[in-house]
């Protein structure tokens, strides 16, 4: 099974030039059920099927907030989006699942869909998740860069092969390695189309057997047990010369996250009635 992260829906929506996609899980394996309790499935209402379908991954960073990729916005109204936490299988009606409505969306103000720069977004939940052994938070990092050669993991419900169109029913995870940006910008890699910047992490497998692809976009990249990035985009699936690209959680993004969460929480908090 290849591992490549892309959009989780049945349709693949390119947000860069033709051929680019969000990232999916190829070459990975099922994780131990409920061992990645911070994972969120972001689902969009499908009018044709009259049901919600997995679109992107996300990370629960606060009872009321999910961090994901800005390209997962896709202009859907918030009443068309729901977040599922506490899940291992998307199809089975697990008692551990919590289905949460989205109150508002906050894509990073400077997101550039043509280059993938600043591909990060916050979702404000209408009701806070109930934390328990199946639903937990993932701590934000310190913003430091990840060195090339570092072994990382990425999990998601994305498609599991370059030929597949359907997302995985169960949560899968794959191991990948961080590649130096200078390598990923070479002519035989991305050739500066787009430029892999310091706000991004390039990671994959030299043999092209492991990657992220469709349906895993927005999910977390974990390096040395730290939340280091967000699945952003790629070109083809499991192509060794087109590794997955991840939004690096930088100090600037951390400041924006904290400011947004604090500002909205303050704004939405009604004063206590004392009389």
Residues designated as active site: 71, 119, 217
189 vs 128: CA distance, rounded Å: 42
> What is the DSSP code string of 141-184?
-------TT-EEEEEES--SSTT--SPPSB-EEEEEEEE-HHHH
Can you tell me whether residue 65 is helix, strand or coil? strand
The Cα–Cα gap between 190 and 175 comes to 21
Cα–Cα distance list, 24 to 10, 143, 214, 227 (Å): 12, 25, 4, 18
Neighbours of 73 (CB within 10 A): 18
Is residue 161 within 8 A of residue 26, CB to CB? The reply is yes
How far CA 58 is from CA of 185, 195, 196, 229, 268, in Å, comes to: 27, 25, 22, 11, 23
Quick check: 52 and 46 in contact, CB under 8 A?
yes
Rounded-to-integer distance, Cα 83 and Cα 93, Å: 15
């Amino acid at each position: 099974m290849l591992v490549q992260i892309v959009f989780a829906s049945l349709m693949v929506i390119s947000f860069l030039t033709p051929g680019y996609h969000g990232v999916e899980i190829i070459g990975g394996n099922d994780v131990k059920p409920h061992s990645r309790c911070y994972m969120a499935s972001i689902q969009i209402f499908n009018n044709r099927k009259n049901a919600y379908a997995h679109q992107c991954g996300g990370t629960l960073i606060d009872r009321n907030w999910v961090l994901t990729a800005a390209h997962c916005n896709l202009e859907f109204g918030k009443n068309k989006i729901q977040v599922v936490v506490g899940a291992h299988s998307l199809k089975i009606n697990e008692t551990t699942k919590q289905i949460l409505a989205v109150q508002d969306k906050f894509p990073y103000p400077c997101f550039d869909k043509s280059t993938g720069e600043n591909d990060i977004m916050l979702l404000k939940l209408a009701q806070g998740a109930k934390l328990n052994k199946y639903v937990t938070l993932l701590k934000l990092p310190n913003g430091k860069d990840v060195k090339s050669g570092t072994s990382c993991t990425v999990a998601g419900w994305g498609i599991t092969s370059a030929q597949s169109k359907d997302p995985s029913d169960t949560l899968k995870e794959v191991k990948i390695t961080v590649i130096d940006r200078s390598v990923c910008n070479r002519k035989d890699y991305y050739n500066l189309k787009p430029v892999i910047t310091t706000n991004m992490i390039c990671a994959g497998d030299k043999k092209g057997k492991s990657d992220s692809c469709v349906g895993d976009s927005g999910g977390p990249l974990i390096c040395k047990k730290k939340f280091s990035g967000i699945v952003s985009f790629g070109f083809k699936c499991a192509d060794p010369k087109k590794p997955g690209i991840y939004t690096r959680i930088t100090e600037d993004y951390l400041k924006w996250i904290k400011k947004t969460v604090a500002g909205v929480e303050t704004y939405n908090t009604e004063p206590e009635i004392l009389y």
